[in-house]
Amino acid sequence: MQIFIAEHAGFCEGVERAYQIALKQIQAGRPVFMLGNLVHNSQVVEKFKKLGIKTVRDLSEIPAGSKGTLLISAHGVPPEIYAKARQLGLETIDTTCPWVKKAQKIAKDLAAKGVLVIIVGDKGHPEVKGVVGWSQGKAAVVEDLEELKPLCKSFDKKVGILAQTTQAEEKFNEIVSGLKQKAKNVVEYNTICGATSKRQRAAVDLARKVDLMLVIGDTMSANTKRLTELCEKTGAETRQIQTAKELEQKWIQGKEKIGITAGASTPEWVIEEVLKKIKA
């Protein structure tokens, strides 16, 4: 049996940066609050909790006068979060991924000019909610071509379309093409993260050469979900797992070539545990 790991897998630069910043803040000795999940990986979040970071779903859960540090996740947040943090007297440490920052700025600038902003992405994802916030709440979020139909009445003016940073290139291009057939003045902004594109291409290339493709990553991770979908499209047997505990022996029995990839928020130690279990 041969095991192959995709050329690009595991922590991307943005997640690694957020992870290291969080560790540094823990060492500073002040109370550290994490709004939501710093990255979409349960193992990483659990590690931070054990180290003393307090996770909150809303800033109202933080007592006034706490004089602590608020960690903004790699997914980013709407602008009002920064204002609320200042009111609470919190120091804000922003770990928003630079690619997400780029999307936020584009949405903000387009909305300020009165341009219709369309985001191709998952409606419930924190990153998308944040980008919508930077558009003053005016951006429309679409997940497929069908969702363009209700917007047709606004297509007589200029339209700016951008992507959630972890979207699949194929889906984004499909929706952009469909939009250009309906609207006369479309400006396209491909805000898909470069690391995401490389990771997706590497996973697909590997999936075409193996008998089984294992995608390691949390179920709440959008980019991991995308990797699984893309590998499945190649026709390869594909299994998504969060940890080595979920790996079933029957999946690998009789397989000569096993491919492994991992989402951008999957830490190296989780990948290593899966490798060890396969070899065992």
Candidate list 80, 127, 256, 268, residue with the active-site label:
127
Q: Are 125 and 131 in contact (CB under 8 A)?
A: no
User: Residue 230 carries which side chain, given as an amino acid letter?
Assistant: L
Q: Please, which residues have CB within 8 angstroms of residue 200's CB and are 6 or more apart in sequence?
A: 168, 169, 226, 227, 230
The SS3 assignment for 221 reads coil
- Cβ contacts of residue 279 below 8 Å, gap of 6+? 3
CB 243 within 8 A of CB 278: no
Tokens of 10: 């595991």
Say how far apart CA 177 and CA 172 lie, in whole Å: 9
Q: Locate tokens 């980019």: which residue?
A: 223
The question of whether 127 is a catalytic residue gets the answer yes
- Two tokens, residue 48: 């931070």
Catalytic site positions: 127
